[in-house]
Copies of this chain bind each other. A is one copy, B any other.
Amino acid sequence: MNDRALRSVIIGLGGPVNGIPRESGFEITVASEIMAILCLSRDLNDLRERIGRVIVGERADGSFVTAGELGVAGALTVLLKDAIKPNLVQTLEGTPAFVHGGPFANIAHGCNSLMATRLALKLGEIVVTEAGFATELGAEKFFDIKCRVGGLTPSAAVIVATVRALKMHGGVKKEDLQAESVAAVRAGLSNLEKHVENIRQFGVPAVVALNHFTKDTEAEVDAVLAACEALGVPARISRVWQRGGAGGTELAQTVLDAMRNGARSTFAPLYPERLPLAKKIETIATTLYGADGIVLAPVASSKLEKYEALGYGSLPVCMAKTQNSLSDDGKKLGRPHDFTVTIRDAKLCAGAGFVVAYAGDVLTMPGLPKKPAAESIDLDDSGNVVGLF
């Protein structure tokens, strides 16, 4: 069970027979290093090696103890030997799809498994993959972490936009989204503009998919399409939710066109491996978030220095940041300017192969529901599960 009371715990109490007292904590599966390892491994051997590199403690002299040194990498791998196999499912229309791996894109690297993507590349002509939470989170990590590790070269990127989200970035409250407001759409377009710029910084052609909602008005939709035209980015309306595959044909064709022109795709990660860790974070923050710079809290700064000193300086960084804003402050909407990103802590995931940087107050104020879901979930008289959604 996922229980916030397990976030920060003390274990090993009750005397020597119960182990050594120590401060510890549980993480949700989607944020765990094991999940990241599962999704970044090339095969079972790679999985085993990565698990062996996981850091489980620190010696008195500051050096790290790994799972491999404890001699348990094999046993841990056994637990994952079936989980690593990509999971093939199909859509309602019978199209094959892999659903495999689940790191969140705000607090983890946000991509499905490398094995599933590579298998799909062998089986199909075109592979579409999802990277959650927009370009500065999901796309950045897909490009800088997964593509780098897996040697992938994306041909095109689809940015999914909605009139509703743009209106929120333009200042409209959630409860007022039903009313037409072309002005709000226009105000919010600065956010979309930044995401288009972000994709271009990776040298990848971008296409905007406008995910249509029934209450979107023609004037609002036109405002988005016109803005995209002004930005020189192709944009198409998607009605997949309504018409199935047929609702996305035009979008798919446009993406195909972008890919074929994608001889022009000049994909490269945002930063080179050799850049110091703090500089990598700064590069992401200034280039993709639009920040003036970063401030490292003392504890973050000393950890990054230690990681560099122990030879982990060439790893990519995995930003943990709110998905509600391009900045590290979830209340700054649209395209924020004049802000600094605070890195309050860092963590080395030597098995996954990246250094997590915690920006702002991400994770410290998670929005748990006021009414626990468990109060609604039940079985009905026929034994069916009810109340899940």
Chain A residues with a Cβ under 8 A of chain B = 3-14, 16-23, 44, 48, 58, 70-72, 74-78, 81, 295, 297-299, 340, 342, 344, 360-361, 364-366, 372-379, 383, 385, 387
| With contact pairs A17-B365, A342-B297 given, residues A383 and B7 touching in the complex (Cβ less than 8 Å) | no
Q: Enumerate chain B residues within 8 angstroms of A372, measured Cβ to Cβ.
A: 72
Question: Cβ of A5 and Cβ of B18 under 8 Å apart?
Answer: yes
Question: Cβ of A71 and Cβ of B375 under 8 Å apart?
Answer: yes
A366 to chain B, nearest CB (A): 8
A64 to chain B, nearest CB (A): 14
Question: Cβ of B74 and Cβ of A379 under 8 Å apart?
Answer: yes
Question: Cβ of B374 and Cβ of A72 under 8 Å apart?
Answer: yes
| Pairs across A and B, CB under 8 Å, 19 listed | A3-B19, A4-B17, A4-B19, A5-B19, A9-B11, A9-B13, A10-B13, A16-B58, A21-B23, A44-B383, A71-B375, A72-B375, A74-B379, A78-B377, A78-B378, A78-B379, A297-B342, A298-B361, A298-B364
A-B contact sample (20 more), CB < 8 A, given A74-B378, A74-B387: A4-B18, A5-B22, A7-B13, A7-B14, A8-B14, A9-B9, A9-B13, A17-B364, A21-B21, A48-B379, A70-B375, A71-B375, A72-B372, A72-B374, A75-B373, A75-B387, A78-B378, A78-B379, A297-B344, A299-B364
Question: Cβ of B10 and Cβ of A9 under 8 Å apart?
Answer: yes
Question: Cβ of B377 and Cβ of A74 under 8 Å apart?
Answer: yes
A110-B110 Cα distance, complex, nearest whole Å: 45
CB closest chain-B residue, reference A301: B361
Question: Cβ of B44 and Cβ of A377 under 8 Å apart?
Answer: no
Q: Enumerate chain B residues within 8 angstroms of A81, measured Cβ to Cβ.
A: 379, 383, 385
Question: Cβ of A378 and Cβ of B19 under 8 Å apart?
Answer: no
A148 to chain B, nearest CB (A): 27
